[in-house]
Structure 1
Amino acid sequence: LGEIGSGEATQAVADALADEQPVVRSVAARALGLIGDTRAIDPLADVLGDESEATEVRASAAWALVQVGTERALEAAAEYDDDRAYTVQVEAEKARDATAA
Structure 2
Amino acid sequence: MNATLRQTSSLAVVSLVAGILGWTLLPFLGSVAAVVTGHMARSEIRRAPERLEGDGLAIAGLVLGYLSIAMAVLLVFAIFLFFGGLAAFLAFAGR
What's the TM-score once normalised by structure 2's chain length? 0.37
Structure showing greater Rg: 2
Greater fraction strand: 2
What's the TM-score once normalised by structure 1's chain length? 0.36
Higher RCO structure (Cα 8 Å, ≥6 apart): 2
